[in-house]
Structure 1
């Protein structure tokens, strides 16, 4: 099958509803490791840095769904991951003191060259299947496929028993050409690149992103025009594109708990409480998002944040900062960029945000220096209780190489994505929401919708 318009589509209709796909790879690094070693399929797999003997820094880059069932998540320190889920190599069914093999995982060190080669195959499929592709990170992208398909329902066949009911998840009742095309894209990625993906289909970007995270892994969720508000209504406010933990708490204080509540709220009151973003979030909760799928630019900074039970334990805070620094360093290396400024963020109870940064004489890519500076900045808060920590690099320099991702980066700004910080896609899930400070002073967190760590700006200079 070629990537042209499917039968029945009417791409020349200027009034046709847009068809937007959000493609979110499922545990991408772990999937790449399984592609190389099929014996890992169905097994808990943890991919990260710092597993080698003698390593002092390290963090989980991604954990398979099987590993997450044991509490291992992206950006966890290596020590925490190993405590929750020991190495499979340490298991011995004949040794009562050894870990139970059923409660261990396969650990793999990040191998970016391998992941780049797989991502290149995914990228080829995406660009062949869409005229407009917005590449967000190594494991997710938006596609505008309006010119390739449509929301037209699949026609019934008189002399054959062909069901026209939708077989996708979501509010779609009738099978549409858009559903078939999305299934084709998803299946082609797995067939040609060898890794699984989840796809959300909707008439706009924010709804498509929420849909792709709704039925993981290998999900296909279709939200037709006119059904977006209905689909969003029962979801928690954090599901709305652009709502992070701080905004969600603000909304909760206003008696707004669900996207439906947000859609019915007074936009003037929201704007008064949240600034300009209040009206924007109100529109998105109503299923309104007129952003176009366009190529992305380069970020202003890369950061990673992690929540933890409020603690003043110095060792715990330093260990978490080491893990975050390792993750940020890995992402900078993945994107082949240098940085001139290193910063940290410390959130103390109740929700006081403190940031510190140090500028360097010139651009560097030095994991040890990044950890050293971050820990040095943390010393100012040695006696403070912390509920969230973050590490950031900024004043980025991409001169040394092209972007080494599936496609690119979200530009730091109002239409980038703010992560919720509570899962992998995932961290959502990459978690993915708008970077930078919003109307409440809220900063973005750093996970994508599938729990693979993504990096965005968490604080304005």
Structure 2
């Protein structure tokens, strides 16, 4: 009987559990970290809005700004017509009347800052799942099949998978301070659609067996892979919803769109066999902690940083990773991000050294109030074999030295400060707009 199935008994293969995490209006959310007064206000991040500038575009617009017709990739001149800019240099709105004024708060694109925030989010995602595919600065897929399940909790109101997704979402909000929408489904395309379904700050779960029913009433351009041109061509064929696409003649779709037509037909029916393929090992590991209120207490800062250093070093050891750079991050009010780091002669696995270097770097901020502290090890190596130590190491110069930048230190695509970038993201790659 080996390899056979008994009559009347179906083989049971647990359905994959995929999370799609999409940061809501990410650039605008980052700006609100620096300026909490902007919460609830129309925020436009872009370029070309300063007086005398003749060209520019919107990188992202908050949901409040979208109510005025401001959209991502829109010419900045059109955005300013729809939503005039609040006077530069004036105080942020303090009264209800000020908040009711039809003006927007325009801010320049600060990719270095956004990448540093994104790195904090990515650290959480990699802690929550062994398989993470980073799509852009503000979007990722997680395969959490090994971490949770589709079983329902005892009261039957939700699945374990929903609880796990809520845990991921809440960690991002609590530890980083930016909102995320999360979709949960048995495949990638359905998870992507689910995360878009209830923005902003949404959580939508589509259980196995419910995917096609969930998709059916949605407009056809909700199907992952259907853009405006394809949607127009499908409309000419009488296909206007995902349900229409699911019921369409696959031969006609193949004739019109080639193999892609069959793929879209499958996705509309809830069929997507793609695996979540990881984007590679991390280039850095970090841990951050925010204080309830900004503190200048030297003992409290040192105690917090020492705990963070121990945690980061333990995580590196658990992954058999060595590191050549140790750094800290100190966020001072209102939200100025300071980064300092030290390069080592060679790769090491040395928790005591991580704490020693981190605390030494922290002395630069003695007497200064901080809102958040972080420790990072970067320039990672995962080669097997005996790990190195630098016993007796005397230390080197702090990279950047006196006068190092506070908000624009060079950060690579994974957020490692001044760490020999292996390819920068272009503006077109960032995909912030949802």
* TM-score under structure 1 length normalisation: 0.57
Matched, 1:141 2:140: yes
CA distance in 1, matches of 2:107, 2:16: 41
CA distance in 1, matches of 2:15, 2:47: 44
RMSD between aligned alpha carbons? 2.7
- Quote how far apart the aligned CAs of 1:451 are: 2.4
Matched, 1:451 2:426: no
Go from structure 1 to structure 2 and tell me whether the alpha carbon gap of 1:177 and 1:216 turns closer, same or farther (over 3 Å shift).
same
Go from structure 1 to structure 2 and tell me whether the alpha carbon gap of 1:405 and 1:283 turns closer, same or farther (over 3 Å shift).
farther
Paired residue for 1:102? 101
CA distance in 2, matches of 1:132, 1:14: 23
CA distance in 1, matches of 2:221, 2:430: 13
Q: How many residues align?
A: 279
CA distance in 2, matches of 1:48, 1:405: 21
Paired residue for 2:22? 24
Go from structure 1 to structure 2 and tell me whether the alpha carbon gap of 1:116 and 1:100 turns closer, same or farther (over 3 Å shift).
closer
Q: Which of 82, 95, 102 is the matching residue for 1:84?
A: 82
Matched, 1:403 2:390: no
Go from structure 1 to structure 2 and tell me whether the alpha carbon gap of 1:401 and 1:115 turns closer, same or farther (over 3 Å shift).
closer
- Quote how far apart the aligned CAs of 1:57 are: 2.6
Alignment of 1:346-365 (within 5 A): none
Check conservation: 1:137, 1:405, Cα contact below 8 A: no
SS in 2 for 1:213: helix
Query: Which deviations, in whole Å up to 9, do the C-alpha atoms of 1:111-159 show, x marking residues without a partner?
Result: 1221111111001000001111111111110000001001001113xxx
CA distance in 1, matches of 2:101, 2:69: 15
CA distance in 2, matches of 1:405, 1:222: 30
Q: Which of 227, 237, 244 is the matching residue for 2:210?
A: 227
Paired residue for 1:330? none
Go from structure 1 to structure 2 and tell me whether the alpha carbon gap of 1:100 and 1:139 turns closer, same or farther (over 3 Å shift).
closer
Greater CA radius of gyration, 1 or 2? 2
Check conservation: 2:137, 2:430, Cα contact below 8 A: no
Alignment of 1:258-269 (within 5 A): 258-269=241-252
SS in 2 for 1:260: helix
Check conservation: 1:30, 1:46, Cα contact below 8 A: yes
Matched, 1:67 2:65: yes
Q: Which of 39, 62, 79 is the matching residue for 2:37?
A: 39
Q: Which of 186, 191, 194 is the matching residue for 1:208?
A: 191
- Quote how far apart the aligned CAs of 1:199 are: 0.2
CA distance in 2, matches of 1:401, 1:446: 16
Check conservation: 1:60, 1:76, Cα contact below 8 A: yes
CA distance in 1, matches of 2:233, 2:24: 31
Matched, 1:176 2:174: no
SS in 1 for 2:255: helix
Matched, 1:238 2:233: no
Q: Which of 284, 301, 306 is the matching residue for 2:267?
A: 284
Stretches of structure 1 that go unaligned for 5 or more consecutive residues are 1-12, 93-98, 157-163, 166-174, 298-399, 410-444, 453-461
Query: Which deviations, in whole Å up to 9, do the C-alpha atoms of 1:395-428 show, x marking residues without a partner?
Result: xxxxx9953579x99xxxxxxxxxxxxxxxxxxx
- Quote how far apart the aligned CAs of 1:100 are: 9.4
CA distance in 2, matches of 1:231, 1:288: 13
- Quote how far apart the aligned CAs of 1:58 are: 1.5
Stretches of structure 2 that go unaligned for 5 or more consecutive residues are 1-10, 92-97, 281-409, 417-421
Matched, 1:114 2:113: yes
Check conservation: 2:22, 2:182, Cα contact below 8 A: yes
SS in 2 for 1:89: coil
CA distance in 1, matches of 2:189, 2:279: 16
Go from structure 1 to structure 2 and tell me whether the alpha carbon gap of 1:48 and 1:405 turns closer, same or farther (over 3 Å shift).
farther
SS in 2 for 1:103: coil
Q: Which of 211, 219, 231 is the matching residue for 1:248?
A: 231
CA distance in 1, matches of 2:411, 2:79: 33
CA distance in 1, matches of 2:429, 2:204: 24
CA distance in 2, matches of 1:265, 1:100: 49
CA distance in 1, matches of 2:413, 2:238: 43
Check conservation: 1:88, 1:101, Cα contact below 8 A: no
SS in 2 for 1:67: helix
